[in-house]
Amino acid sequence: MTTIKDVAQHAHVSIGTVSRVLASNPTVSSELRARVLSSIEHLRFTPNAIAQGLRRNRNAVIGLVVPDITNPFFAELAKFVEGMASQIGYSVFLANTNDDPAVERIQLDTLLSQSPTGIIIVPTTNLSTIAWPETVSTVVVDRAIPGHQVISVDHVAGARMAAEHLLDLGHKRLAYISGPASSDVAMLRLEGFHSALSFKNLSTTPAILGGNFDYQTGEMIGNQLLSQPFHQRPTAIATANDQQAIGVMRAAADLGMKVPADLSVVGFDNIPLASLVTPRLTTVAQPLEEIARQAVASIIDESDIGHLPRRVAPTLKIRESTTALEG
């Protein structure tokens, strides 16, 4: 392993000078700078990030903590975060919590022991018990945690858009599949759904059922909902995320129902898969790249110390899984 010392010897300068050209310190003569640069090139020297980290008490690393990287939504977030981070020379730690607070604690502890520059987290708990070193900045995605920077879509507005879309299509018997009651996101989206309905007079109150943010929940509750007699079952179902929506479509297919002819379905998140299932899923899109961009930026850029919650606007992607109610 070649060090700053080797470079110094090779260029016939002191290690201080090498360090300064590494830091682009302007106080070094162009002559020496050239010599050092060529030595660096010649020796294929890369500064030891560990040593830099120790010295600066801060490693060029960003921690990304998500409930489940297998969830396409988080995978995409990870892709964007990793892309932006590596562009500026940062590495990213990936940590899965499996939605388990105990695991989350441990993950954060080992992450913090690495002195990351910052941590981007989609938390499963309220984190209040964690001792955050002041040196590591954090960005919370999707959830509001007191004392931390927050970035997320406007969940309420998004769910409202979904519900309004269904209502505009003439649907009256709606159902909503929510996420776990312990999830702020689930509650916000549910609130959005409700707020849209409060403007209309519906002959029947919509069924609200909750579960997890996964395919299984969608399939199970969908099956339950759609197994009801014709005149009771919903003509449209909105869900708290795309996985659930796809599960619902799966259940509908298993029951011999056609989407959207027999049933309209709207999801949330716009995961890549949403545009690939049959029929293509109408859904509320999160501007994930923008979220990742802001998250990384606010970690790197220390000038940005305002703890204002940032809400980014969702957009409704109308595709094939929704249609106007017939007759």
Partner DNA sequence: TTGTAGGCGTTATCAA
Partner DNA sequence: TTGATAACGCCTACAA
| Residues in touch with a copy of itself (CB under 8 A) | 1, 44, 46-51, 53-54, 57, 59, 61, 64, 68-70, 72, 75-76, 78-79, 82-83, 86, 89-96, 103, 106-107, 109-115, 131, 133, 135, 215, 246-247, 249-250, 253, 272-273, 276-278
3-state helix, strand, coil in the chain (%, to 5): 40, 20, 40
Nearer to DNA, 14 or 70 (CB): 14
Which residue in 47, 101, 180, 287 binds DNA (CB under 7 A)?
47
Return all residues near 182 (Cβ < 8 A) that are at least 6 apart: none
Nearer to DNA, 109 or 254 (CB): 109
Measure the CA–CA gap between 168 and 186, rounded to whole angstroms: 23
CA separation for the pair 157, 162 (Å, rounded): 9
CA distance linking residue 5 with residue 48, whole number of Å: 12
Residue 17 and residue 8 in contact, taking contact as beta carbons nearer than 8 Å:
yes
Which residue stretch of 40-48, 262-270, 288-296, 301-309 sits at the interface with DNA (rule: CB under 7 A)?
40-48
Q: Which does 5 bind (CB under 5 to 8 A by kind): a copy of itself, DNA, none?
A: DNA
Output 117 or 161, the one with its CB closest to a copy of itself: 117
Cβ closest to a copy of itself, residue 85 vs residue 187: 85
d(CA 121, CA 253): 36
Burial of 137 per CB tally in 10 Å (0-12, 13-18, 19+): buried
Return the one option of DNA, a copy of itself, none that residue 70 interacts with (CB less than 5 to 8 A, by type). a copy of itself
Instruction: Tell me if 57 sits within 8 A of 135, measured CB to CB.
Output: yes
Residues that bind DNA (CB under 7 A): 1, 3-5, 12-17, 19-20, 22-23, 27-29, 31-33, 45, 47-48, 51-52, 54-57
